[in-house]
A and B are shown apart, each in its own frame.
Chain A
Amino acid sequence: MLKALQIEPEKCTGCLQCELACSFQAEGVFNPSKSRIKIFTFHDEGRFVPYTCTQCSEAWCMHACPVEAIVFNDRTGAKEVLADVCVGCKVCTIACPFGTVNYDQDDKVAYKCDLCGGAPECAKACPTGAITYVDADHTGLARMRAHAAKTANVGASA
């Protein structure tokens, strides 16, 4: 059964534990600027929104890569950057319409969430359950509901 990250922004307190856990897992440093998951702060609304790659089925990044450096992991469903194959052309970073593929100017490669190979550290680190790793079908339903709710609330949130 494929699993996916479920993000519930209303539970996020903006503590940034996820960013620290992510950067430490991925890069061996506690450095939020290297994190694959980011917390966006909405001061006006008093809210925090964790955001990372949804491993979307369109996989714009993977299809735009000219050298097959982004591959599909059929065990986790993640689209993973192979750092030793990536040439650093950055086409994936402009092709991802969600803005979740970034370029590392130190290592000169693209990077993105790879679900930590199936045990995402962000979910483990989150103290409030805002980030959980659940059955993909469940998040699918939740996404549909959220989308329906969003559509119904277009007037209110515009």
Chain B
Amino acid sequence: MQHVIIGAGPAGVIAAETLRRLDPGASVKLVGDEQEPPYSRMALPYYLFDRIQEDGTHLRKQPDHFSRNGIEVLRARVTAVNTKARRLTLDGGKELGFDKLLIATGSHPIRPPIPGMDLDGIFSCWTLADGRNIAKRAGKGSRVVLMGAGFIGCIILEALAMRGVKLTVIEMGDRMVPRMMNQVAGGLIKKWCETKGVGVHTSTRVESIEKSGAALKVRLSSDKVLDADVVISATGVRSNLEFLGGSGIETDFGVKVNDRLQSSHPDVFAAGDVCQGRDFSTGEYSVQAIQPTAADHGRIAAANMAGRSVRHQGSVNMNVLDTMGLISTSYGLWMGVPGGESAELRDTDRYRYLSLQFSGDHLVGAQSLGLTEHVGVLRGLIQTRVRLGRWKDRLLKDPTRIMEAYLGCTQALGHNAGVLA
């Protein structure tokens, strides 16, 4: 049995390891198109402000991890998939056969259609190579304009601020992280960043970028013009699907899959940012493009490739962000559901916020600012669909009691433990 995995990010690596465990006799090949050993994009911001060196971004720390585990890592770019002949075409014309294929090719940053985007000094922050370039060009005192205050933009924002650059952020939405936080929380993050010396322009677009001597001029929709040494574009990502043209594998925003993460071709599976998998909260199929979902997908797709039948129950969309020391999280249907109740705690002076969204007797979504303890229990409450009973009223009065609610609803709390001894 020949298992081939395209993409050496978290989904691909976890799938390769899972396959090795579940299908010990099979060949497992991991094909990646970057020069470095498999690494984590999540770790790039920490590389940017020198908390870690390049090897600190590596997904596995032992240099011989893959060879020791019988996983062959190939450096190549896949240009075409022939599902009939079960062969991949690689750049340079070589071919690679497979019995089962996992598409884990991730996503790429989109390039906004703005005049001047091809000028020198404009970067994405997506690969280690991007990280090296930014580290070279954006030093202490450099004027940096960051396009996009979404999740990725905000992660980079912290790293840039730590590098000591003069930072201005441009966001089209009316607040920061508009697809992760509501008006109140997104507004508070904006205010927090401003008090830390970052310029934040929301409800604003970049109209054009022009060269001006050694620097760049960034023209905004507000007619304001910013001088910049470096512009970083973080305006969103899209699944890497181009090479699937002509393969017959059905795609939408990502590769379309069933509950076993199987594509329209029975021997081809998908995982991670390229996979349009089930969302736990909505029951619909969407591209989540987050680390925990990539890990879920990699494990489940591999189990199915190894001949087990494992169903993906859906991943909870969740994010955690640290914007210059202000930590925010969001989970599931954080925006609430029609007819659902909600609980909110606002302490705007201290940048504390907690919002819980209920559907009937269940927690279905949440957002927090400044919560670093027991925050994962929000996932537990959502994903176990635990019936809250009288704890719902208690949470409506005091949403901070999430941990007590979880324990109260799921543990015996000692009522009956005595009779068991």
Contact = CB atoms under 8 A, between A and B. Distances in A.
Given A63-B299, A102-B373, A95 B412 contact: no
Interface stretch (A16-24, A73-81, A119-127, A150-158): A150-158
Contacts of B420: 142, 145-146, 149
Contact of B51 (A88, A100, A150): A88
Interface in B70-120: none
B376 A91 contact: no
B181 to A, nearest CB: 14
Contact of A94 (B320, B325, B384): B320
Contacts of B390: 158
A93 interface: yes
A90 interface: yes
B56 interface: yes
Contact of A67 (B58, B318, B322, B412): B58
Given A49-B414, A93-B372, A103 B40 contact: no
A102 B329 CA distance: 13
A56 to B, nearest CB: 11
Contacts of B327: 90, 103, 105
B377 A89 contact: no
Nearest to B380: A97
Interface string B404-421: 101110111111111111
Q: Is the interface of A mostly helix, strand, loop or mixed?
A: mixed
Nearest to A62: B295
A123 B412 CA distance: 21
Contacts of A97: 376-377, 379-380, 383-384
B57 interface: yes
A30 interface: no
The number of chain A residues touching the other chain, given as a range, is 35 or more
Interface string B20-48: 00000000000000000000101100100
A60 B318 CA distance: 14
Nearest to A148: B420
A23 to B, nearest CB: 13
Contacts of A38: 374, 403
A158 B322 CA distance: 37
Contacts of A41: 404
B376 A93 contact: yes
Nearest to B406: A99
Nearest to B51: A87
Given A49-B407, A103-B327, A158 B389 contact: yes
A9 interface: yes
B414 A8 contact: yes
A64 B40 CA distance: 12
B397 interface: no
The number of chain B residues touching the other chain, given as a range, is 35 or more
B59 interface: yes
B372 A103 contact: yes
Given A93-B372, A105-B325, A64 B411 contact: no
Given A88-B51, A90-B327, A64 B414 contact: no
Contacts of A146: 411-412, 417, 420
A136 interface: no
A99 B372 contact: no
Contacts of B403: 38, 40, 51, 99
B404 A40 contact: yes
Contacts of B353: none
B281 interface: no
Contact of B415 (A40, A85, A96, A157): A157
B412 A157 contact: yes
Interface string A100-114: 111111000000000
A8 B417 contact: yes
A72 interface: no
B320 A93 contact: yes
Contact of A9 (B318, B322, B402, B413): B413
Contacts of B378: 94, 99
B413 A96 contact: no
A99 B46 CA distance: 24
Given A87-B52, A99-B406, A101-B376, A66 B42 contact: yes
B377 to A, nearest CB: 3
A47 B414 contact: yes
Interface in B308-337: 318-320, 322, 325, 327, 329, 331
B416 A153 contact: yes
B374 A100 contact: yes
26 contacts: A9-B413, A9-B414, A12-B414, A42-B404, A42-B413, A45-B413, A49-B411, A51-B403, A60-B376, A64-B295, A66-B291, A68-B61, A87-B52, A88-B322, A90-B320, A90-B322, A90-B327, A91-B291, A93-B376, A94-B375, A99-B373, A99-B375, A99-B376, A150-B411, A153-B415, A157-B412
Given A63-B299, A92-B376, 12 more contacts: A40-B404, A47-B414, A49-B411, A51-B407, A63-B295, A64-B291, A66-B291, A90-B322, A149-B416, A150-B410, A153-B412, A158-B387
The 8 tightest CB contacts between A and B, nearest first, are A99-B377, A97-B380, A10-B414, A99-B374, A66-B40, A9-B414, A96-B376, A158-B389
